[in-house]
Amino acid sequence: MLKKKIKELLKEKPNTQAVVRGWVRTVRDQKSFAFIEVNDGSTLGNLQVIADANIPHYAEAMSKLATGASVVISGELVESPGKNQALELKAKEIRVLGTCDPAKYPLQKKRHTFEFLRTIAHLRPRTNTQGAVLRVRNALAFATHLFFQQRGFLYIQTPIITGSDCEGGGEMFRVTTLEKPDPEKDFFGKSAYLTVSGQLEGEIAACALSDIYTFGPTFRAENSNTSRHLAEFWMIEPEMAFADLKDNMECAEAYLKFCVRYVLEHCKEDLEFFDKFIENGLIGRLQHVANSPFAHIPYTEAISILKKSGKQFEFPVEWGIDLQSEHERYLAEEHCKKPVILTDYPTDIKSFYMRANTDGKTVAAMDILVPKIGEIIGGSQREERLDVLEKKIQDFGLKREDYWWYLELREYGSVPHAGFGLGFERLVLFTTGMENIRDVIPFPRYPGHAEF
Ligand code: ATP
Ligand code: MN
């Protein structure tokens, strides 16, 4: 028989037999009966169990029941007189599978700080906030596949261990079996790293299968201790053949909106929780994102907007700078008050593979900046012209032989193509209102932290 979770049990008709399996959130012992709140992670809400003192082995069960204990309780679902839930379970049998010493259990009923919860990542999924985060995260992953599959994109797996450092110069983790690095003697006979992006391999696939996407782990060894960076994060990277920057922007905007609408529709209860306890107005903000067209601003114009803003930025604004988070957030939060797509960045601050514009100083890049976060997506049209790309590789001081296969894609049946990368955890931050990226991935990796 299919084991039903609380989410399903709460939709049953009154007077059905049911079994709940989960962890006790609270026990209220009223002598002749007890209220037991059980949660199994399927939904934010608990199932309230009412246990009459005359059921078999009541006293024994009560002696073992405590917050954190795991239980299997069978009984009958009945209409609840309380107004918090429609149904409650009238217990017939209570089995305590795993006891939990309340004197030692680190998750007490009081509110814990997110910093503290990170130190008990093995238990924090049992909190309301982390449970809600993980359910929304799951919904966003599913929505991602739905969106791209509906559009006919193929899901491609790109390597995690790579011999090429995608952009030339990114901070990468080295993969080695040796104490002292020696590429020739090493496992792969060359230097190997953890990937910073699946894009170059994604391009290979797109140049045969037309539209593809990747969804996998990505690694950056930069020592950035911010609330928006992880050393290990998940990235979604669609790549489209026969596509230009406009197609790219259309796809990215539609994808973001699809995800937002999906969680608004499927994670109502969790979003209401976030709206109440994490970010007041979250649902309104998300509805606004789903319903308004994104703004479009070329980089050059963005620079003049920033200059005219009258704001004192920590990093001075000048044409040619790489925008900092403070600049990105000003543009999205204050100037546009909604997501904005910045285009046509200076050649020098973007990667070598971005397609050169005719002005000779900018490339067909697009970043999507959103309120609260700044950059959530980075993308571009790729340089498909062999001669232009060869020159670019040279200008960037990269070695031609490291990119031989990438160049051959431009030699054999080259097509205009474009794609982008979305940081999955930033999407989870954006849709939950959570403040720190370390709290939206189950096991965050950042400098000094790789426990669990
Ligand atoms: P940032 O400027 O914010 O550091 P980036 O420009 O270095 O980001 P890209 O190389 O463009 O990032 O990566 C594509 C996307 O991956 C970004 O738009 C962002 O959403 C996400 N991302 C990049 N670095 C990280 C990181 N260290 N942790 C989590 N997400 C990241
Ligand atoms: Mn970027």
What is the chain's percent helix, strand, coil content, to nearest 5? Answer: 35, 25, 40
Interval 218-229 mean pLDDT: 91
- The number of the ligand 1 atom at minimal distance from the alpha carbon of 437 is 29
Distance 378 CA to ligand 2 centre (A): 4
pLDDT at 419 over 90: yes
Interval 276-289 mean pLDDT: 98
Interval 151-180 mean pLDDT: 87
**pLDDT score, position 101:** 96
Q: How many helices (H) and strands (E) would you count in the chain?
A: 13, 15
> Tokens standing for 305?
């907007």
Phi/psi region, residue 112 (left: phi>0; alpha: psi -120 to 50; beta: rest), is beta
The strand pairing partners of 77, in sequence order, are 16, 89
Tell me what percent of the residues of the chain surpass a pLDDT of 70.
99
Say yes or no: CB of residue 376 within 6 Å of ligand 1.
yes
Interval 93-100 mean pLDDT: 97
**pLDDT score, position 169:** 54
Among the bound ligands, the one closest to the CA of 421: 1
User: Cα separation of 29 and 68, whole Å?
Assistant: 16
User: Cα separation of 207 and 142, whole Å?
Assistant: 26
Q: Given ligand 1 and candidates 215, 229, 352, 445, which is best to mutate, with the most ligand atoms within 8 Å of its CB? A: 229
Span of 254-258, 370-374, 388-392 with lowest mean pLDDT: 370-374
Tell me what percent of the residues of the chain surpass a pLDDT of 90.
93
Say yes or no: CB of residue 229 within 6 Å of ligand 1.
yes
Q: Would you say 299 and 321 are in contact if contact means Cβ atoms under 8 Å apart?
A: no
pLDDT at 144 over 60: yes
Q: Would you say 61 and 26 are in contact if contact means Cβ atoms under 8 Å apart?
A: no
Distances (CA, A) of 19 to 8, 15, 41, 47, 114: 11, 13, 15, 11, 33
pLDDT at 376 over 70: yes
Say yes or no: CB of residue 328 within 6 Å of ligand 1.
no
pLDDT at 430 over 90: yes
**pLDDT score, position 170:** 65
Interval 341-348 mean pLDDT: 98
Q: What is the pLDDT of residues 99-123, one digit of tens each?
A: 999 999 999 878 899 999 999 999 9
Interval 122-146 mean pLDDT: 98
pTM of the model: 0.97
- The number of the ligand 1 atom at minimal distance from the alpha carbon of 426 is 20
pLDDT at 408 over 70: yes
**pLDDT score, position 164:** 74
Instruction: Using alpha carbons, select from 244, 218, 290, 190 the residue that is nearest to residue 384.
Output: 244
pLDDT at 220 over 70: yes
pLDDT at 129 over 70: yes
Give SS3 for 297. strand
Q: Would you say 297 and 340 are in contact if contact means Cβ atoms under 8 Å apart?
A: yes
User: Cα separation of 281 and 433, whole Å?
Assistant: 9
Q: What is the pLDDT of residues 53-92, one digit of tens each?
A: 999 999 999 999 999 999 999 999 999 987 777 899 999 9
The strand pairing partners of 241, in sequence order, are 417
Say yes or no: CB of residue 433 within 6 Å of ligand 1.
no
Give SS3 for 255. helix
Q: Would you say 66 and 108 are in contact if contact means Cβ atoms under 8 Å apart?
A: no
- Domains in the chain, start-ordered, CATH in brackets? 6-98 (2.40.50.140), 124-155+205-216+225-439 (3.30.930.10)
**pLDDT score, position 110:** 80
Q: What is the pLDDT of residues 170-205, one digit of tens each?
A: 689 999 999 998 999 999 999 999 999 999 999 999
Distances (CA, A) of 389 to 308, 394, 397, 406: 36, 9, 12, 10
Q: Would you say 342 and 304 are in contact if contact means Cβ atoms under 8 Å apart?
A: no
pLDDT at 1 over 80: no
pLDDT-derived band at 167 (thresholds 50, 70, 90) equals low
DSSP symbol at 22: E
pLDDT at 329 over 80: yes
Say yes or no: CB of residue 94 within 6 Å of ligand 1.
no
User: Cα separation of 330 and 312, whole Å?
Assistant: 11
The contacts found for 149-154 with CB under 8 angstroms, 24 or more apart, are: 151/211, 151/251, 152/211, 153/211, 153/212, 153/213, 153/238, 153/240, 154/205, 154/209, 154/211, 154/212, 154/213
Contacts of 50 (CB under 8 A, 6+ apart): 33, 34, 35, 36, 88, 89, 90, 91
**pLDDT score, position 77:** 97
**pLDDT score, position 192:** 93
Distance 106 CA to ligand 1 centre (A): 34
For ligand 1, atom 10, name the residue with the nearest CA.
Answer: 378
User: Cα separation of 215 and 217, whole Å?
Assistant: 7
